[in-house]
């Protein structure tokens, strides 16, 4: 199977945070002592070198269009260390002239460096994990910042010259009502970000909340909140382009769009996942999760936690898991271009989904209906092998 190389992104995982939140199932580890931040940046560059050696032919001549520092709390790393990594990455791979470079940031004052420093280092997009502007809700979520600190942090980033800012908000929080969820949206809009991510709190396995569930709104109440918040965001000029993403015109997140369109991405850092299209098909590689093990294996084969090609029978599900999140959908031709499979591979799933009114009846596009968006998990399951 030979695939046309899609756009390429770079994901960089920074695994430490001040304290793990009770709802979080990401590969994050609470700070104990002083983590080896500088040594970790060295390990990231060694990891990138090794991936480039291993996948050289599949990456030859390709340009990085977006970079995303995720975590954990990437802003625990100083601007100088972030800049050292970016300089090293650019010396190894060509970057697009207007590459989008995002840093996830928590609003707590102990969790980020100076924003003008991040801007000088090459960051041009900041994503703030605010989650709520209600101090009682923040406490319940285990967040260590206050609503006031969140407001101050966003304004500080804007004052430093960062004009592409996302605010993460969660809804259907413990004991949250519709008025509280709408107030969170209103306060976020007042800060004039360019992008708002608005997603439902869910109980993920192996988290503190899963072990001791808090009282959450039921499904009907959560749906009412979601619909009302969608209207409020639209009225404020934020267009919904993905299940949980809303943006000002021209400010959609290019990095996440590449994920949802089944593009390629290198994943470096402890627990990072990557996807690369090559002559063997769609290749997924992930790194060992524990920071200590990752550091000990810097640039060595032991840093890789797994490396395999996606089975052709599983590709339709993996593709739909991403593409159907987009409100406008994707051209039908993209399915074959990104997976190497003929349209016949999804004929059964299309028949089931269209028969239930979940997908628009248009042979040129893969796009959910309003009903399909509400039952998106069921739509995607229609394409399981």
Contact by Cβ (8 Å): 253, 239? no
What is the rounded distance in angstroms from the CA atom of residue 56 to the CA atom of residue 111?
36
Give residues with Cβ within 8 angstroms of 127, minimum separation 6: 102, 103, 104, 105, 165, 166, 167, 168, 197
Shared fold status for 8-258 and 315-381: no
Burial 246-269 (b: 16+ CB within 10 A, else e): bbbeebbbbbbbbbbbbbbbbbbb
* Phi, psi values for residue 174, rounded to 5°: -55, 125
pLDDT classification of 362: cutoffs 50, 70, 90 = very high
Give residues with Cβ within 8 angstroms of 83, minimum separation 6: 120, 121, 122
Residue 110: what pLDDT?
59
Please count the other Cβ atoms lying within 10 Å of the Cβ belonging to residue 34: 6
User: Does residue 3 register a pLDDT over 80?
Assistant: no
Structure tokens at 360: 């628009």
Residue 311: what pLDDT?
96
Task: Supply the CATH classification number for the domain 8-258.
Answer: 3.20.20.70
Work out the burial of residue 364: count CB atoms within 10 Å of its CB; fewer than 13 is exposed, 13-18 middle, 19 or more buried. Answer: exposed
pLDDT classification of 2: cutoffs 50, 70, 90 = low
pLDDT one-digit tens code per residue, 181-203? 999 999 999 999 999 999 999 98
Considering the domain delimited by 315-381, tell me its CATH architecture.
Answer: Orthogonal Bundle (1.10)
HSE of 371 in the Cβ direction (CA atoms, 13 Å)? Answer: 8
Question: What's the whole-number mean pLDDT along residues 71-95?
Answer: 96
Distances (CA, A) of 141 to 13, 170, 174, 176, 198: 22, 10, 8, 12, 16
What is the rounded distance in angstroms from the CA atom of residue 303 to the CA atom of residue 219?
41
Structure tokens at 21: 């939140």
Question: What's the whole-number mean pLDDT along residues 337-359?
Answer: 95
pLDDT one-digit tens code per residue, 123-141? 999 999 999 999 999 999 9
- DSSP for 34-100, please give it: ---HHHHHHHHHHHHHHHHHHTHHHHTT--EEEEEEEES-GGGS-HHHHHHHHHHHHTTS-EEEEEE
Q: Which has more pLDDT, 174 or 2?
A: 174
User: Does residue 269 register a pLDDT over 90?
Assistant: yes
Q: Where are the beta strands (DSSP E) in the chain?
A: 8-14, 16-17, 29-30, 64-71, 95-105, 125-131, 165-171, 195-200, 239-242, 245-247, 264-268, 273-278, 281-287, 304-309, 330-331, 365-366
pTM, entire model: 0.96
Give residues with Cβ within 8 angstroms of 65, minimum separation 6: 7, 8, 9, 96, 99, 100, 254, 258
For the chain, the structural domain boundaries read 8-258, 315-381
Residue 54: what pLDDT?
93
DSSP class of 311: P
What is the rounded distance in angstroms from the CA atom of residue 290 to the CA atom of residue 29?
9
Tell me the β-bridge partners of 165: 126
Secondary structure class of 164 (helix, strand, coil): coil
Contact by Cβ (8 Å): 326, 359? no
């Amino acid at each position: 199977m030979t695939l046309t190389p899609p756009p390429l992104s770079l994901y960089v995982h920074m695994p430490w945070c001040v304290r793990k939140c009770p709802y979080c199932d990401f590969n994050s580890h609470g700070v104990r002592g002083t983590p080896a931040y500088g040594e970790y940046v060295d390990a990231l560059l060694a990891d990138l070198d090794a991936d480039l050696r291993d996948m050289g032919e599949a990456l030859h001549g390709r340009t990085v269009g977006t970079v995303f520092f995720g975590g954990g709390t990437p802003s625990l790393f100083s601007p100088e260390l972030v800049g050292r990594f970016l300089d090293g990455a650019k010396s190894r791979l060509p970057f697009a002239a207007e590459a989008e470079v995002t840093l996830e940031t928590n609003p707590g004052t102990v969790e980020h460096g100076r924003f003008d420093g991040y801007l000088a280092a090459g960051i041009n997009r900041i994503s703030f994990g605010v989650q709520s502007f209600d101090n009682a809700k923040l406490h319940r979520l285990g967040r260590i910042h206050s609503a006031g600190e969140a407001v101050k942090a966003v304004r500080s980033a804007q004052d430093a010259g960062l004009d592409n800012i996302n605010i993460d908000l969660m809804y259907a929080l413990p004991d949250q009502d519709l008025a509280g969820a709408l107030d969170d949206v209103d306060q976020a809009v007042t800060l004039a970000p360019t992008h708002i991510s608005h997603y439902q709190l869910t109980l993920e396995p192996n988290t503190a909340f899963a072990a001791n569930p808090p009282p959450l709104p039921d499904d009907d109440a959560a749906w009412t909140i979601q619909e009302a918040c969608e209207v409020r965001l639209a009225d404020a000029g934020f267009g919904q382009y993905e299940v949980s993403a809303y943006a000002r015109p021209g400010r959609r997140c290019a990095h996440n769009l590449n994920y949802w369109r089944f593009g390629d991405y290198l994943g470096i850092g402890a627990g990072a996942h990557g996807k690369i299209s090559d002559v063997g098909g769609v290749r997924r590689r992930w790194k060992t999760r524990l920071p200590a093990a990752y550091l000990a294996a810097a640039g060595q084969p032991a840093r890789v936690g797994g490396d395999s090609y996606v089975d052709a029978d599983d590709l339709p599900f993996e593709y739909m898991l991403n593409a159907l999140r987009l409100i406008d959908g994707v051209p039908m031709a993209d399915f074959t271009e990104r997976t190497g499979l003929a349209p016949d591979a999804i004929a059964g799933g299309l028949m089931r989904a269209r028969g239930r009114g979940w997908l628009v009846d248009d042979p040129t596009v893969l796009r959910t209906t309003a009903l399909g968006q509400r039952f998106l998990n069921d739509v995607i399951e229609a394409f399981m092998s």
